[in-house]
Amino acid sequence: MNSSTDTIAGSWLRNPVATPCKQSRELALARQQQLTKPPGSLGRLEQLAIDFAGFQKTPVPQLKHPVIRVFAADHGVVAEGVSAFPQAVTAQMVHNFVAGSAAITVLAQQQGADFAVINLGTAEPMGEIPGLVNVQIAAGTENFCHMAAMTQQQMDIALAVGRDSCVDQPMDCFVGGEMGIGNTTSAAAIFCALLGTEADDIVGRGTGVDDAGLQRKRLAVQQGLDLHCKADTDPEEILRCLGGFEIAALVGAYIGHAQRGVPSLVDGYISTAAALLACKISPSLADWLLFSHCSAEAAHGLVLNTMQVKPLLNLDMRLGEGSGAGIALSLIRSSLLLHTQMATFAEAGVSES
């Protein structure tokens, strides 16, 4: 994996993103209307097939090469007492991912997905571990209550790692997961900064903090907003000041893959923060994003409604890791199989009316 940045740091973020193929979408819609079912009777499964026809530039798309990448990093804002778990858990979960024992690894195996874990900066050094891509930009971000979470150079590296995380391999759908104690606090701050919402409306319990911990999270988010954000603060600066290395990697992945013509299936609360940032930086990217589920984390539904997107599932999940998107891959696979393998009325000799 090439994690180098461009000569002009971040200049690639605004490279053009093509529109999904309109002709293939129209042909897929026409096929849907000829399949042996009442029109629209498969609901959103029909729309998924049409979307993938546009992505793949063919009226009969297939899901053959899903790719899952989990980005891990720690957050300096944990020093404010915002998490129910210690930072050591981030590195421990990275070991669990590599061992194939976490929820997302089970789902990756089920889907036959190409899977890898990328460490961008845990508080506890990981060293060289078989199966781990170890970038280690720093031992986590800085505490955004007192200074910017990242330097410009650190952010550029993380963005480029995400962009290059799946280079030179077949891929027809990207799923990005994340692991980082404290990252719901960072995501909440990003949502507040981008949407102009109040911290009390956005900050949730994350890993399960008690009432005192929830209050500390809200205070930390507000302190970060007061320190770093004004009405005209651009999205890249919001990411640099309030984000995490793993969130930046997701932003880079969503933009980079869309520029290559590959759709991304967005997971939950943290991934949606990255997707919102990515869309603010590159608005045409929105055509290449699908949202897998509505998290049980407070305010995720509010954010999705504000973004005017409808998730595929609502299962009260709040694990992260890409797990909700891993489940949603099954829906996409079913959608495309129905679209390509069902008979048309003519083929089946069934009357259309």
> Strand 264-266 to strand 289-291: parallel, antiparallel, or no bridges (unpaired)?
parallel
- Tell me whether residue 253 is exposed, middle or buried, using C-beta atoms within 10 angstroms of its C-beta: 0 to 12, 13 to 18, 19 or more: buried
Q: Measured between alpha carbons, how far is 132 from 138 in angstroms, rounded to an integer?
A: 16
Long-range contacts of 39-44 (CB under 8 A, 24+ apart): 42/335, 42/338, 44/312
Q: Measured between alpha carbons, how far is 269 from 183 in angstroms, rounded to an integer?
A: 10
Task: Using only the alpha carbons of the chain, give its radius of gyration.
Answer: 20
Packing angle between helix 300-307 and helix 183-195, nearest 10 degrees? 40
| CB contact at 8 A, 49 and 26 | no
The SS3 call for residue 98 is helix
Amino acid at 292: S
Which of 26, 246, 321, 347 is labelled catalytic? 321
Instruction: List 291's β-bridge partners, or say none.
Output: 266
Which is it for the CA torsion 134, 137, 141, 142, positive or negative? positive
Amino acid at 212: A
**Token pair listed for 91:** 């590195």
CB neighbours (10 Å) of residue 8? 8
Closest to 303 (Cα-Cα) out of 228, 182, 204, 211: 204
Question: Is 321 assigned a catalytic role?
Answer: yes
Secondary structure letter of residue 20 according to DSSP: P
The SS3 call for residue 67 is strand
List Cα–Cα distances, 172 to 70, 185, 299, 311, in angstroms: 17, 32, 30, 20
Active site residues: 321
